[in-house]
Amino acid sequence: MSGNDIDNKVTPLRPKRACPECGKPSTRETYPFCSVRCKQIDLNRWLSGTYVIPGRPGEEEDSDEKPE
């Protein structure tokens, strides 16, 4: 068996996906992103509040009332 035959039989641990930022193929080192740059862009969006996970309807964040 040659090295190429072995590579064709190996099943990757993660499916190949496109980078969520730019659409290029992702790399193993920065999965699911294609580069460190795209990874940092995504992190900045989370930290700056661009991405938000909504809470339950009627839930208030800054409530001074204490539950009894």
Does 38 belong to an annotated binding site? yes
15 is in an annotated binding site: no
CB-based contact 39:27 (threshold 8 Å): no
The annotation status of 57 as a binding-site residue, yes or no, is no
- 21 assigned binding-site residue: no
With left for phi above 0 and alpha for psi between -120 and 50, is residue 49 left, alpha or beta?
Answer: left
Taking the C-alpha atoms of residue 10 and residue 4, their distance in angstroms, rounded to an integer, is 10
Annotated binding site, which residues? 19, 22, 34, 38
Annotated binding site for Zn(2+), which residues? 19, 22, 34, 38
